[in-house]
Structures are given as structure tokens and as C-alpha cells.
Structure 1
Amino acid sequence: MKMGKGEKVQVEFISANPTGPLTIGNARGGPFGDTLANVFKKAGYRVEKAYYINDYGKQIIALGHSVLKDDKARYSGEYIDFLHNRVGEKKDPYEVGKWASHIILEEMIKATVLKLNIHYDEWFSEAWLYENKRVDKVIEYLRKKDLVYESEGALFFKAKQFGDIRDRVLVKSDKDKTYLAGDIAYHEYKFKDKKFDKVINVWGADHQGDVKGLEAGVEALSFGGKLDTVLLQFVTLFKEGEQVKMSKREGTYVSMDDLLNDVPVDVVRFFFLQKSFNTHLNFNLDLALTESDNNPVYYVKYAHARICSVLRNANVDATKIRKAKHIKYLDKEAEIDLIKEIAKFEEIIEDTIKDYGVHRLPQYAIDLASAFHKFYSDSRILDKDKKLRKARIELTVATKFALSNILNIMGIKAPERM
């Protein structure tokens, strides 16, 4: 597919603060962003996957207080106890927070990301922006453009000029810079330094109020129209009909590691992709643990394994069949339905590029598997009639190609045996 024509796209996703392990809530962006990036790659774009590390500011100080277990602690849980026991003689909350956030990132977050079969092209540090004066420079740029003003001791960005509902604070009255100031500097790096044609940020729904401010900042930098933001709704885990509570601060959150310890990663990714990003995701743990056709992941995987079994029995090398030369001999309803389903593949990719609706991929995999199971039941693939046999084998190979491709895009294994 050549939709992208080599355009350069970045998908930034998860980007959770390094103040605790990834939860099932903030990690929803993992399968979503990874799959969306894979869709763009399939369509011919040059794609990079990025994680923005929020390793600067007050949340790092709060983490330090939490690890020290003093009266300003905000976070709790087993991971805080683990870090507290390793802190040694360190006493400064900021230094402790920096140390702790590094361990959380390297030993917890990155390990979980690997378990999710996600491989980033860039882990970008917010602290780097401040160390290299990039935030100061972008504020000075906006000042020279007469796009900032002072009020009550704070510095405001004239965001309303770019369609925002209000002007936004860049530097607070206590001289601390806001998240927006860092975000604008980071996006200058994305567009100016990295030269992306499009950037897609995958954020949690709790960041909805930040979208317009950043869009205004990007437009002020003359990169308007190149940034899209996808807001993912929240995740609720259900077990035996009961909701499992989660809260990082109270130490009762459900970590992604907890889920991955119980549920295979392919099932987690598939379930996380099934709902539209603007829909709340209810994760049914009982169904996820079911290894039968009732679980859509196994239903789809079994279809692929069945295809591979048919081709083995026919002694057919699927890689050597490039064209369906005998398709005209297929006229059964199940055969025609399967042909139509396979033909939807490129349309699925094209539609997903347009609206980022990756939820259509698992549904397509289910529909394709269902069409193949019906075809397998209704048609004798290894028929005695040579032309019909070749036609049905070619259709089986085409189904394998489409199904394995869609599973690969979703980051899910396509088994040859089950």
C-alpha cells in the first residue's frame, strides 16, 4: 500500500509519568498507539513511535517525598516500599524523586512495555528540554512574536488568537513553568528538529482540557494542522461481575503487570483494541481467561491455525501462490462472502488512517475468521475436481495472507498450530 508516499509520522503514546508502574488505565494507549503506528507503516508512511518521559517538575518532588515517607508524601503502594528500602542516605526530595523516577522507568515501565510487545523508536526526556534551554527559547520566540503578556505576576500565551477558549499560563507567578510551556517546546522539537509531517498524540481523556492550548501553541510555531490528539477513555476491570478498584495514590491500582501475569499478552492487546477510543473500556477478566471459541482471540487464532493445517495437508507452500488464477470457479455463497471479506482489507487500513479507529481491526479479524469457518464448513477445499481444488486453495491462501497481516498489525501472533 502506498497511501503515505513516505510522509514522516510520529505516534506518541502511553507517556505516563514515571511516578509508578503502568496501570491498566494509562497503559490502554500502548496497544492502541502501537497498532495505529503499525497501520500507518502498512499504508506506506515512515513512522516513529515515541514515549515522552515527564521527568521534570513537581510530580518528581512529590515522588521523592513519597519515597522518603515524610508528611508531604502523595503516592503509596508496594513499589514505594520497595524504593524506600533502597533509598539509602539520600534526603533531598528532588534528588530522591529523580533517582526513583529513573528506577521506575528503567525497571518497571520499560519492562512492562516489552511485555506488551511494544518497541519505541524514541524515549524522550522532558528534563532534556530544560537542560538545553529549549523551553526558555520557545517562550522567547513567542515573546518576539508578541504572543505573550504578563498579568498578576504570571506570563500568559495569547492562545485565544489561535482558536482556544482562553489564554494559557506559560510561567506562573512563582516563576515555575507550566506543562504547556514544556509541551510547546517538545512539539517544536518534533516538527523543527525531527521534521515530522504529522504528529499523533495518544492521551488519556483526563487531558482533554490541555488539547486546545497545545494546538494553539503548535499553530503559533507555524506548524498548524500537523498535530492530532486522540483521547482514550478510561478502563474498568471486571472479575466475576465485580469492578476491581484502582488508584495509584492509594496503592490499590491494578498494574498492567498484574494483568499480564494472568492474561496472555495477545488477549490483552486484542481486548484493549476492541472498543473505540472514545468509548469506556470494560475489560472482562473472566472472558479473557477463557480458552475457547467464546473468547474472540482464540476464535481468530484457531481460524489461522486451521488454514495452516489445510495447506499442510495439501502440501502447499503459501508463499509461492501470488495470484488467484482460478477464482472464476467459485460460486458458492460462503465462497463469495469470503472473497468479499478479504477484499475489505485495504479499505479497513484506509479508513483507520482517516479516523484512527483501530477498533475496526479486531472486528475485521473476527468477521474474516467467521467467513473462513463458514467456507471451511460448506466447501470441500481439497476437492477431487482439480480446478475447484486449486480455486479453493488459492482462496485459503488469500485468507491466510489477510488474517496474518491484520494480526501482525495488531501485534498478535498468528499460530500455525493450536
Structure 2
Amino acid sequence: MNLRKKIKEDVRATIIKLQEDEVFSAFDIPDIQILKPKNDSNGDYSLSIGMEIAKILKGNPLEIAQIIIDNLGFDQDIFSKIEAVSPGFINLYLVQGYLISRMQSVLQNKESFGCQNIGQGMKVQVEFVSANPTGPLTVGNGRGGPFGDTLSNVLNTAGYEVEKAYYINDYGKQVLSLGHSVLKDEEAKYTGDYIDDLHNRFKDMTDPYLIGKASAQIILEECIRKTTDNLNINYNEWFSETFLHESGLVSQTVEYLQSHGFTYEKDGAIWLRSSDYGDERDRVLVRSDKTMTYLAGDLAYHRHKFESKGFDKVINVWGADHFGDVPGIMAGMEMLGFKDNERIKLEIILLQFVTVMKDGKPVKMSKRLGTAITMDDLLDELPTDVIRFFFLQKSANTHLNFDINLAKEQSDKNPVFYVQYAHARICSILASGGVDWKDIDNIQNPSLLTDERELNLMRKILRWEEIIEDTAIDYQVHRIPQYSLELASAFHQFYSGCHCLVDDSALREARSGLLVAAKTTLANSLRIMGISTPEKM
């Protein structure tokens, strides 16, 4: 049962009945928001609908909230109390019996606890990282790795059919620039140890474009793919831009746009009428020298995604430096007809920049590039688990300061250590008690679990389903590590005051069941983030 959905439906039905009975006048009912109170003493859920209706009716919000409660008729098997509090909130408190019943569901489902059918099998592609194969992955590119991978895992858990994709920009000017760099001629752009190595490999070749193509393939295989493997990212598809051009998909897409009146010619170039679709300016599709722009390739690629591969939705995770490219491609999507109920099927998430900090100062120099810090630089110093967790902690639109000193801490100060230690501690307690967590599929003697720390741990465990649901809707992936920290904290509070290996066998069994539920949920949250679940630390 989706409890938040039930609350919304029940409250809405109550308001409609109050309108029919002329207690409330007729009005369009606002969206009913289910809030999570910051303070646990204010209940498990909170609604602001009383205040929103008060604005419409010019009434007292506290009185309106109370009228809704008086007519709601709450299920005593779910709620112990529903109350109106100033200035007009409706706070709902879950009863112990409901918490216990849901714990039984956690234990019966274990690894599948949290799985839902929000997506109903819709096909979604998440494309992320997709850095040019002109050098090793930098931390700026790399931030998209844990983000896109975790978002894909969330969507899969929420019932979508998900493909993880990497778009290989192995065609055009950047490939030519790479070739000149390997030749070390006057048009060289890239530097670093890897360029020196490539220069030695191709010292007998002279064509910069052919050298660039061959070098891009080496960089992809020997640098980028190794780095993504080390980050525990497993792509379903590596798609080559070269294929788009050589198969004619790019030229066909341009011809389609031309034939449907979405382009015009100016100064020898072909322009997209993107300003007619919300862009601040029109964009060049084909340059005056007849070469295709990146936009032409991007439009062809997305046409391939929707028409040939049949995706219902595509999510691109880009760096913030691509902000200016978004309006052009979104305009192109609308021109190509990739909309569903007036909503464009492509969504783009922009990740802000990363600053690596050490000893309180930004690290500016890479051992490999002599410029930007690479992901391999980080992987040399830190475990993958730590890198993934730290990269996931901040929202996409927030600049990320990556503190290497904190990341190296082997203490509670390090958030990933704190969460993994909670999991390992539970495993240790269960092992000491001779409990095999795989054999526990229900809580024995649940009525004994009455301590507020026990109940709080149950509440945190049940939040996992809502975390998956919310993240599948709004893509706020940083919610996952935040939740895992809150759950670990709830466990530590529980363990500090509720001894598990007690002489009372009935209480011991009850708390062991709760521990298995906590271990299961912690493990599920870590797995979603692509982070290991150690049983010993």
C-alpha cells in the first residue's frame, strides 16, 4: 500500500464531501502535499492543506484543518493520532501495529524491499559522462558517473526498463585536434603523459585525422573504459558518433528538418529555426564549409534513440558547461515531434562543477594532465566506495567540494565509513547471536518493541520506499546518501540504548528481527549507490 497516496485520496475525498455538504464553498482543491516533519515530535506526516484552503476561503487555517480532521475518519490500524497544530498543519502519527506490519514486509521482501512499479516497464535511457575521447576522465566529467549510475539504479528499482549509455564523440574537430596534439605540431591542443605515449606509438604516421581516430579509440579503451570499470559503472551501450555520420543518420535528420520548414540558409550555412521554439537564437546545423555541427549530430542521435530504439524517455546527464546547448537540442526535439502529452521526452540534468580540496586548499594540478584533476588521480588515493558516496552527497545544481582529507578518514567523520560501519556492526551482532539473517522473514514477539528508539528505527526503515518513489520522480539522487546516513544514525541510537543480545529470549528474537530489517534496508541503499556492503570492518 502506498500510504501517502492513500492519505491524499482520503483527504481529497473529505474536502469534496465538505463542499457537497456546503461546509466549504466550491473551489478547485489545491494539490495536497504530504510533508515529512523535520521534528519527529510533530508526527510521521504533515499536511499544509488547511492553510492553503484558508487562503482561498479567507478563513482561519487552524479551524479549517480541524474541520478536515473531524470529518476524515482515520484508520486506527494505521494512525494513533491526527491533530491540527498552529498555524494550520495536520500532523499524522503512525501506530505501532502498522510499523510492525510493515517490518514484516521488509523481512519477506529483503533485497526487493523498495521495488515499485511506478515506471510500469517504460523504456528509459540514461546517458551520462559521455566525455570526448581526447584524454582521461576529469573529476568534472566523472561526477556524472556515480550520479547517472545511481539514477539508473533508482529508476530500475522503480519499475522502469533502463539502459545506461555512453555517447562516444569520436568524429569531427576534436578528433582532428587530438591528432595534431599527438603529432605535437603547431595546431596541438592537448598535453599530458598520455599524449607523449601516443606520440611514440604513431611517430611513423602523418595524417592528423587518422592519428586522431586511432588515438581516440586507444584513449577510450585504455583510459576511459578502465576508469568507468574502476568506478563500478557497467554501461549497456557505448554508441559511436562516427556511426551516426557514416550511416547517413545525421544527413537524413538535417534533410527531414529542411523538408518540414524548420531551417533556412544564411551566409552559406543551414540554420535551425530554434528561436521559434523558445531558444534565444537560431542555431547552425551545417556550416558554410558543409561540415555538420555538434547539434546536427545530437539531434540525429536522439532521433535514433526514440525512433530506432523505442525509448519512452531519455535522460541526459551533462556538465554545467553545456548549459548553452540545452535550448537548441530541446527545440530540435519539439520539431522532430518527440513529445508525450505536450511534454518533451528528453530531460537534461546539469551537474555543477567539482573542486578537489586537500589540506583546506584546492588541488589544481593533475599528475597525468598537468591541468585538470583526473578521476584516476582520485582512484589512486581513495577507494571507489568513498568516491561514489562523496560525489552523490550534493544536489546536481550545487558546486561540489571534494575533501580528500575527510574522504581518507577511517572514523565516523567520514560519512561512507559511518554508513558501512553501521551495516557491518549489525552483521557482527547477528553473528554473535547465532542469527543467520537470510533465515529471518518475520519479527517474533513484535509487541515487545515499544521503546521510542525501536519505533524510530522502524520509521526510518519505512522511508526507503518513499525515497525511491520521490527520487524516481524528481531525480534528486543526493537524497539516497542522506537517507543512508539518517538510517545509520537511527540504528546507532537504537543500539546505544536497546541491547540486542539480552537474556530475555523473546525480546532478543524481536530485536534480532528488527536488526535484520535495518541491515536489509541499509544494504539496499548502499547497493543502489553502487557501494559495497561489508560484513566486517
TM range (shorter): over 0.9
CA distance in 1, matches of 2:400, 2:219: 26
SS in 2 for 1:203: strand
CA apart distance, 1:384: 2.7
| Mapped contact 2:419–2:485 kept (Cα < 8 A) | yes
Is 1:171 aligned with 2:286?
yes
Question: Separation in 1 of the partners of 2:327 and 2:365?
Answer: 29
Question: Partner residue of 2:348?
Answer: 229
Residue by residue over 1:73-125, the C-alpha shift from the partner in whole angstroms, topping out at 9 and shown as x without a partner, is: 01111111111111131101101100110110010100001000000000000
Distance in 2 (alpha carbons) for counterparts of 1:187 and 1:171: 17
Query: SS of the counterpart of 1:344?
Result: helix
The aligned counterpart of 1:37 is 152
* Structure 1 letter corresponding to 2:334: E
Q: One-letter code of the match for 2:293?
A: T
1:11 aligned residue? 126
SS at match of 1:228: strand
Match for residue 373 of structure 2?
Answer: 254
CA distance, structure 2, for counterparts of residue 53 and residue 245 of structure 1: 27
Q: Which residue of 2 aligns with 1:323?
A: 442
**Aligned residue number for residue 106 of structure 2:** none
Match of 1:118 among 230, 233, 241: 233
Give yes or no for contact 2:367–2:377 (8 Å, CA) kept in 1.
no
Q: Which deviates further from its counterpart, 220-229 or 384-393?
A: 384-393
Question: How far off its partner does 1:194 sit?
Answer: 0.8
Q: Equivalents in 1 of 2:227, 2:531: separation in Å? A: 16
Unpaired runs of 5+ in structure 2? 1-115
Counterpart of 1:180 in structure 2 is 295
Q: Which moved more, 1:237-246 or 1:123-132?
A: 237-246
Q: Deviations over 1:201-258 (max 9, x none)?
A: 0000000011111111112111122110000000000111111115899732211111
Q: Which runs of 5+ in 1 are unaligned?
A: none
1:276 paired to 2:395: yes
Cα contact 1:24–1:255 (8 A) shared by 2: yes
* 369, 382, 387: which one aligns with 2:506: 387
CA distance in 2, matches of 1:158, 1:220: 9
For residues 249 and 145 of structure 1, the distance between their equivalents in structure 2, rounded to whole angstroms, comes to: 48
Q: Is the 8 A contact 1:75 1:251 kept in 2?
A: no
Q: How does 1:295-314 map to 2 (within 5 A)?
A: 295-314=414-433
Q: Secondary structure at the match of 1:283?
A: strand
Preserved contact between residue 286 and residue 292 of structure 2 (Cα < 8 Å): yes
CA distance in 2, matches of 1:350, 1:197: 19
Partner of residue 48, structure 1: 163
Is the contact between residue 20 and residue 248 of structure 1 (CA under 8 Å) also seen in structure 2?
no
5 Å-filtered alignment, 1:2-401, equals 2-224=117-339, 225-246=344-365, 251-324=370-443, 326-401=445-520
Q: In the alignment, is the contact (CA less than 8 A) between 1:12 and 1:49 conserved in 2?
A: yes
Partners of 1:359 and 1:291 in 2: CA distance: 22
Cα distance in structure 2, aligned partners of 1:246 and 1:60: 25
- 2:300 counterpart letter in structure 1: A
Distance in structure 2 (CA, Å) of the matches to 1:214 and 1:52:
15
CA–CA separation in structure 1 for the residues paired with 2:284 and 2:360? 44
CA distance in 2, matches of 1:180, 1:266: 36
Deviation at 1:325, TM superposition (A): 5.1
Distance 1:137 1:246, change over 3 A: farther
Q: TM-score, normalised by structure 2?
A: 0.76
TM-aligned CA distance change 1:325 to 1:168, over 3 Å: farther
1:61–1:93 contact (8 Å) kept in structure 2: yes
The aligned counterpart of 2:528 is: 409
C-alpha distance in 2, partners of 1:249/1:293?
32
Given residue 222 of structure 2, which amino acid in structure 1 is its aligned partner? E
Which moves more between the two structures, 193-202 or 310-319? Answer: 310-319
Aligned residues: 418
2:271 counterpart SS class: strand
Q: CA deviation at 1:52?
A: 0.2
C-alpha distance in 2 between matches for 1:140 and 1:389: 72
Partner Cα distance (1:176, 1:72) in 2: 19
SS in 1 for 2:265: strand
Q: Quick one: which amino acid aligns to residue 448 of structure 2?
A: Y
Give, in angstroms, the shift of residue 290 of structure 1: 1.1
* Matches of 2:355 and 2:481, distance apart in 1: 20
TM-score (norm 1): 0.97
Give a deviation string over 1:331-375, Cα, whole Å, max 9, x none: 112111111110100111111111111111111111111110111
Q: CA deviation at 1:389?
A: 1.8
Contact kept, 8 Å, 1:75 with 1:248, in 2: the verdict is: no
- Amino-acid identity (%): 60
C-alpha separation in 2, matches of 1:395 and 1:226: 42
- The Cα of 1:316 is off from its aligned counterpart by 1.8
Q: Judge conservation of contact 2:444–2:506 (CA < 8 Å) in 1.
A: no
Q: Is the 8 A contact 1:342 1:402 kept in 2?
A: yes
Give the Cα–Cα distance (whole angstroms) in 1 for the partners of residues 229 and 142 of structure 2.
12
Say if 1:76 and 1:249, in contact at 8 Å, map to a contact too: no
> Could you tell me how far apart the structure 2 residues matched to 1:356 and 1:324 are?
34
Change (3 A) 1:248 1:416: closer
Q: Distance in 2 between matches of 1:194 and 1:247?
A: 39
- 1:161-218 deviation line (CA, Å, top 9, x unaligned): 3222222110112222110000000000100111111110000000001111111111
Whole-angstrom distance in 2 between the partners of 1:241 and 1:195: 48
- Residues 376-413 of structure 1 show CA distances to partners (whole Å, capped at 9, x for unaligned) of 11101123333322221111011011100000000000
Instruction: Report the secondary structure of 1:380's partner residue.
Output: coil
Q: 1:315 & 1:309 partners in 2: Cα distance?
A: 10
Q: Calculate the aligned-residue CA RMSD, in Å.
A: 1.4
In structure 1, distance between residues paired with 2:184 and 2:446:
70
Distance across 2 between alignment mates of 1:247 and 1:400: 39
| Structure of higher CA gyration radius | 2
